Chains A and B, each alone.
Chain A
Amino acid sequence: MGLKPATNPDVEAASIELTIDGKTVSAKDGVSLYDVISSTGKIIPAMCYHYTFDPFGSCGMCLVMQEGKKAPVRSCTAKATAGMVIRTEGEDLFLARKKAVEKHLSVHPLDCPVCDADGHCELQDMAFQHGVTNLANAKQKFIPEDTRSIVLDFNMNRCIACAECINVCKDVLMIDALQFMKKGGFNQVVAKGDLPLSCEFCGDCLAVCPVGAITNKYSKYLYKPWQMKKTTSTCNYCGDGCQLYLETKDSEVIRVTSPLSWKNKWGDRSETAKGHGGLCVRGRFGFEYLDGKSRLTQPLVRENNQLVPKPWLETMHQVVDRLAAIKEKHGSDAIAGLITARCTNEELYLFQKLMRAVIGTNQLDSSARYGHMNFVHATRHALGFGRTPNDWEDLTKAKAILLIGSNLTETNPLTAVRVKEAIRVYNAQVVVLDSAVTNIAKLASHPFLIKPGTESLVIDGLVKATIEHDLIDETAVEKHPRAFEALKSAVAGLSFDHLATQTGISVETYREIAAIMAEAPRSIILCAEGIVRRADGYQNVLKLIDLAWITGKLGKPGCGVNTVTEEPNEQGAVDMGVAPEFLPGQSRYEDTAARKRFGKAWDVTLPTNGGANLIDILKRCKSGQIKALYILGENPLGTLPASMEVRTALDKLELLVVQDPFLTETGRRAHFVLPACTYAEKDGTFTNLEGRVLRVRQAMDPIGESLPDWHIMTALANALGAQWPYESANDIQAEIMKLLPGYYNLGQPRKVTPEPDAYLANGYAVEVKTRYRIAPTTTDPKRPFALVMGQQLTHSGKMSTEALGLIKIAPNTGKLRMNLQDMERLGIQDGSKVRVTSERGSLQLGVQAEASLAPNTCFFPEHFNEPPVKDLMALQVDATTGVPSFKHAWVSIERA
């Protein structure tokens, strides 16, 4: 079971044979004896063992008798060798193990009744199993509880020094924030350097602690494990789609736990390639918004310029009357809708059905438009599918990974853990190209700092280096000689010197990176917000596909171009057809046959006039073409910069209906606000970035009078004259299953095979001509600083700002993050005020130093609008995909 995988997954270890309890067992050479015994199904107690890391051997419980040895041996640290004769049961072993438990208990306080681990404690279980009732020499440690950290309390009286927390932090997560330190005569677990713990706060140490030595501040003393209802659900913070357990008492979320726990310590080590079961800080500690005080509990209606609570029935009557009146007077195309990708697949499907079949307009969009759409369009155009081709296992077992424009440990921490495992276990070469010193760059074998905003040029350089240094894959290129010739002549116009000076990456380095990617048998390219959320995102993804093609990596197992998403269901939003260009299943909306098929299924004729995406919808709102907007969980006013004039657009509307669990900036301007449920109060599914469809389960009753989104939409549709029979999310699922057979893949997505032939054979030559153009110099001497807005580890969108726990860890400092050198050059200190000026405006705000930033860059988290840094951003819309990019701007900074 817990067999440590070989460094190279392609090589099988030799097989050996040994005898366990009279039975001959074959095992792989060089693994721990404990793993061999547990692979036979026998379970020996072990308190310091967990399959995700190497055996540590401190608890002394896993004792077995080996023939030829007088004393029992610890099976976890013993290597299995051929011909061993092992006995795992017997009176003597039981007594030896009992002695080990007694040794631990003799210095362990008997404060079980007030301990949070009571009832979920391995030491307690062991004491019970071995019948320890009397301790001759009990001692107490009297160590003060370490409460300096914001999130975790360390009670070292209870610690049994199993080091699981330290090992998981060091080996699995590669954060290495904990250590042993001899203090007051005892070995204690402390944060590195005996400082207050300040790490990524993933809480995996808390999950693996077999006793109550590490406790969670946010739910301290609020529970006993047996009092809570445990619901398996899917996290709704990012596209990783981690499974988690929501533990609730009545309608209160007490804590969130992960499948990673000391309770399931037996497993196949190679299975961690599919995920180690842990969570990140958002998933584990960002749950307080679910039953928070800021939740909307009643529908609100605007009366005399104020939002007043009203009963559901009255509100719905008014909404429906006004929607119907607008449809009657101005036609269907006077109505549009926006939805967030934090909704379930069922709700996304229902939303587009509501807009298209009931209201009769194709003006709808989801928050996948903010970036993921660039990737979807590019891969669909080039390869024939609109999602990532690789899963976590491919990523873990890759030999080379190119991370470009992605601060992976911050945006998608659990995908980052896969890359870390690739580095640690499988010795992958990881190339990181980013304009900041990211955490993953610190671990990578080939980290490179590029100049801000030059991602596109870097890819140009890589493609050029691959071609010029003959790193191309002949068989892949020979199939499409014309396309290759076109690409060759397109990059011929680029000059390496120009690329090198612009990007800060030397010519030699381009060659090195290209060689790594070309020569590795499995190489994965991963691009994220730095590519898809920036200008030319669509073209840049296509360039990366070019790179994969010429190195022969398209369609090879374990290779491909991938992305990650910020919201949990961006992929689902695309798959469910919440975009004017797509029908469910990513059928093109222009495709008459597909439109007919869905029209028939829904018993309507679908509108043929072209729809509108997010930007077009806002433009049409401003021009008065759209009179009514139905916004579901989206917050365009809080997200888009002021230059987009969202406020003017919304103020022009005759009817703005906002449906959200919280009163957002957009909601405050609405005519009607409908209270919706969060994911903890409804059933459904999310599609994660690997394409796995994961279940979301209802953990508690809706707060107040809030209702699930699908319920509100069904009521709305029926009031508008449709006859929707849905009584639960399952009914909607049944309909999707009929229309998209095989979509519900039970967590096992179908492998997609790229089919680039059509793309390369037709039109590629024309397309590629303009793709590799020499970009004009981007830097303006008047505005030397690159202002980047991006994600923080502890936050996700605007939603996480409602989670008190996360705000406690990372509050809105309202300060601009700057590089220390820049600050010295400008003569400013931490906390002093600066004036930031972009072409869109100017703003005065405080400054704080941030070590991860490169010179000439500054950063502000996109989760906070106070001060309104986002309004300094210019907005550019991609011509092909309609994706707005507004996360990057050139600014000047001076002392205020």
Chain B
Amino acid sequence: MSVAALTKKILHAALFYEIWDAMKVTFRHMFHKPITFQYPREQRTLPDTHRGALSLLRYDDKRERCVGCDLCEAACPSHCIKVVSAEDKDRPLQRYASEFYIDITKCVFCGYCVEACPVNALAMTKMYEFSTHDKRTLLFDKKRLYEIGERHLEDAKKYLYAHNQEKNVEESREYRYYFPQSVIKPTQSTPKHLS
């Protein structure tokens, strides 16, 4: 071993060079904005396309959008959706979902159901916290899904927009199927693109 090298080694040992060298990373991060955040006190900002809990939506006039067509059930790869449809007693000839269940423990968050929905009644939200003491609460029923929809309406709308499902109102109506309603009393006027 040469003298120079030996001197350097002794000097390093005397001045605790390795320790300072290692601490360099620590000190550098003392002045760095932290990457982690204090979940659950702090929440991450999610992109609009985020696939979180599913929700059911209503039209602006509070009517249920869902027509109970069972297509989400058919599209679901993990078979976590069950729709029971019936004729609406108050509005004859109108089909609606009398019961609607999503087992979110089985859900793989693929978003196929949202894509399958012809009326954009389903949307995904940014809600992702499912921890619970009782797994049974994770079987979302119709009431719960509408509650989620109401609470996360903005996110749900953004999701649909981000996934090209619902543009602005006029466009979206063109995109959607048009259901001829009971003409005992027409409830919808002829859509623009058809008249």
Chain A positions near chain B (C-beta within 8 angstroms) = 109-114, 118, 138-145, 147, 153, 157, 220-224, 226-227
* B residues 79-115 in Cβ contact with A at 8 Å: 85-87, 92-93, 95
Within 8 Å by CB of A144, from B67, B95, B184, lies B184
In chain A, what residue has the closest Cβ to B194?
Answer: A140
| Shortest Cβ distance from B185 into A: residue | A144
Minimum Cβ distance to chain B for residue A424 (Å): 37
The reply to whether A113 and B194 contact each other, CB–CB distance below 8 Å, is: no
Give the chain B neighbours of A143 by CB distance below 8 A: 183
Most A-side CB within 10 Å, residue of B74, B92, B95: B95
Distance, CA A139 to CA B195, complexed state (A): 9
Q: Is the CB of B194 within 8 A of A138?
A: yes
**B110-135 CB contacts (< 8 Å) to partner A:** 118-119
The answer to the question of B27 belonging to the interface, with a C-beta cut-off of 8 Å to chain A, is no
Q: How far is the CA of A143 from the CA of B71 in the complex (A)?
A: 26
Chain B positions 7 through 29: 1 when the CB is less than 8 Å from some CB of chain A, otherwise 0: 00000000000000000000000
Indicate if the CB atoms of B85 and A221 lie closer than 8 Å: yes
Q: Is the CB–CB distance between B92 and A221 below 8 Å?
A: no
* Chain A residues, CB < 8 A from B85: 221-223
Can you spell out 8 A-B residue pairs with CB atoms less than 8 angstroms apart?
A114-B67, A114-B69, A142-B180, A145-B183, A221-B68, A221-B85, A221-B87, A224-B74
Determine if A221 and B86 form an interchain contact, defined as CB atoms under 8 angstroms apart: yes
Q: How far is the CA of A138 from the CA of B85 in the complex (A)?
A: 29
Asked if B183 contacts A111 (CB within 8 A), the reply is: no
Q: DSSP majority for the A interface? A: loop
Residue of B nearest to A143 (CB): B183
**CB neighbours of B180 from chain A (8 A):** 109, 111, 140-142, 157
What residues on B are CB-neighbors of A113 within 8 Å?
A: 67, 69, 71, 118-119, 177
- Count how many chain B residues have C-beta atoms less than 8 Å from C-beta atoms of the other chain: 25
A145-B177 Cα distance, complex, nearest whole Å: 18
Task: Chain B residues near A223: list those with CB within 8 A.
Answer: 85
Contact with A along B170-195 (1 / 0, CB 8 A): 00000001111011101000100010
Known: A111-B177, A111-B179, A114-B69. A226 touches B74 (CB 8 A): yes
Rounded to whole Å, the gap between the CB of B156 and the closest CB of chain A is 20
Residues of the A chain whose Cβ atoms lie less than 8 Å from the Cβ of B93: 145, 147, 153
CB-defined contacts of A140 to chain B, threshold 8 Å: 178, 180, 190, 194
The complex places the Cα of A224 from the Cα of B69 at a distance, in Å, of: 8
B residues within 8 A CB of A157? 180
Q: Check A142–B190 contact: CB distance below 8 A.
A: yes
- Report the separation of the CA atoms of residues A226 and B79 in the bound assembly, to the nearest whole angstrom: 14
A889–B35 Cα gap in the complex (Å)?
Answer: 98
A156–chain B nearest beta-carbon distance, Å: 10
**Chain B residue at minimum C-beta to C-beta distance from A111:** B179
A-B contact count, CB below 8 Å? 60
B48 within 8 A of A: no
Bound CA–CA A140/B92 (angstroms): 21
B141 sits at the interface (CB 8 A): no
Per the 8 Å Cβ criterion, residues 31-74 of B in contact with A are: 67-71, 73-74
A140–B118 Cα distance when bound, in Å, is: 18
Which of A144, A153, A157 has the largest number of chain B CB atoms within 10 A? A144
Who on chain B is nearest to A116 by CB?
Answer: B95
> Other than the known A113-B67, A140-B194, A226-B74, what 8 A-B pairs have Cβ atoms closer than 8 Å?
A109-B179, A110-B178, A114-B179, A144-B182, A144-B184, A145-B184, A147-B92, A220-B87
- Complex Cα gap A144–B118 (Å): 22
> What residue in chain B is nearest A157 (Cβ atoms)?
B180
What distance in Å separates the Cβ of B1 from its nearest Cβ neighbour in chain A? 80
**Could you say which residues of chain A place their CB within 8 Å of the CB of B183?**
142-145
Using Cβ atoms and an 8 Å threshold, which residues of chain A touch B177?
110-113
Residues in B whose Cβ lies below 8 Å from that of A142: 180, 183, 186, 190
Complex Cα gap A893–B68 (Å): 55
**A222 engages B194 (CB within 8 Å):** no
Chain B positions within 8 Å of A147 at CB level: 92-93
Q: Give the one of B85, B180, B186 with max A CB within 10 A.
A: B180
A242 vs B75: C-alpha distance when bound (angstroms): 36
- Chain B: CB-nearest residue to A109: B180
Q: How far is the CA of A829 from the CA of B39 in the complex (A)?
A: 83
Cβ–Cβ < 8 Å partners of B190 in chain A: 140, 142
Chain B residues within an 8 Å CB radius of A109: 178-180
A118 touches B194 (CB 8 A): no
Q: For the complex, what is the distance from the CA of A769 to the CA of B51, rounded to whole Å?
A: 92
Shortest beta-carbon distance, A100 to chain B, in Å?
22
Q: Which of A147, A221, A224, A227 has the most CB of B within 10 A?
A: A221
How far apart are the CA atoms of A33 and B187 in the complex, in Å? 47
What A residues does B184 contact at CB under 8 A?
A: 144-145
- Distance in angstroms between the alpha carbons of A226 and B74 in the assembled complex: 9
Chain A residues whose CB sits within 8 angstroms of the CB of B186 once the complex forms:
142
Closest-by-CB residue of B relative to A138 is B194
* Contact indicator B70/A224 (Cβ below 8 Å): yes
Residues of A within 8 A of B182 (CB): 144-145
In the complex, the 4 A-B pairs of residues with the closest C-beta atoms, listed nearest first: A113-B69, A144-B183, A221-B95, A114-B95
Write the nearest CB–CB distance from B93 to chain A, whole angstroms: 6
Shortest beta-carbon distance, A249 to chain B, in Å?
9
How far apart sit A226 and B54, CA to CA, in the bound complex (Å)? 24
